[in-house]
């Protein structure tokens, strides 16, 4: 079975400061990794994903995440946050073990950017 752990339920950070949102996963098979973002009163949006290849993946708005197989982690980072980054962030995994390729989500991290 797969599971995802997001250790930080809330992360407050000042505007223009760096941030790291932690994600660890557990799986006995190869995984695909995702970060989704949920802005207030909006649906989940895919931020970035790791399927294969380069372990460092980037989003269009400056976020990046690195797949670390030995540490079973997929931490999300941004060197300088903006007020508009305030949202809930969910880490998720998927595998080919089930035909559904359904997502297993962590409990989320609420990022609050302080002016």
Asked if 45 interacts with another protein (CB under 8 A), we say: yes
3-state secondary structure of 88: strand
Q: How far is the CB of 50 from another protein (least distance, A)?
A: 11
**What's the CA angle centered on 9, arms 4 and 12, to 5 degrees?**
135
> How many residues bind to another protein according to rule CB under 8 A?
25
Residue with Cβ nearer another protein (19 or 94): 94
Q: What residues pair up with 106 in beta bridges, in sequence order?
A: none
Asked if 115 interacts with another protein (CB under 8 A), we say: no
CA 5 centroid distance within chain: 11
Asked if 101 interacts with another protein (CB under 8 A), we say: yes
**Which span sits near another protein by CB under 8 A: 13-21, 59-67, 68-76, 103-111?**
103-111
**Which span sits near another protein by CB under 8 A: 13-21, 37-45, 69-77, 78-86?**
37-45
Q: Where are the beta strands (DSSP E) in the chain?
A: 3-5, 10-14, 19-21, 24-26, 32-38, 44-50, 56-58, 64-68, 73-78, 87-94, 104-105, 109-114
Binding site for another protein (CB under 8 A): 4, 9, 32, 36, 42-46, 49, 51, 90, 92, 94, 98-108
């Amino acid at each position: 079975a797969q599971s995802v752990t997001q250790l930080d339920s809330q992360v407050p950070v000042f505007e223009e400061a760096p941030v790291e949102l932690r994600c660890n996963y557990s799986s006995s098979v190869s995984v695909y990794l995702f970060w989704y973002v949920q802005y207030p009163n909006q649906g989940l949006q895919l931020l970035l994903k790791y399927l294969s290849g380069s372990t460092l993946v980037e989003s269009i708005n400056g976020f990046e995440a690195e797949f670390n197989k030995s540490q079973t982690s997929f931490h999300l980072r941004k060197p300088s946050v903006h007020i508009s980054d305030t949202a809930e962030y969910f880490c998720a995994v998927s595998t080919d073990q089930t035909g559904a390729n359904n997502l297993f989500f962590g409990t989320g991290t609420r990022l609050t950017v302080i002016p």
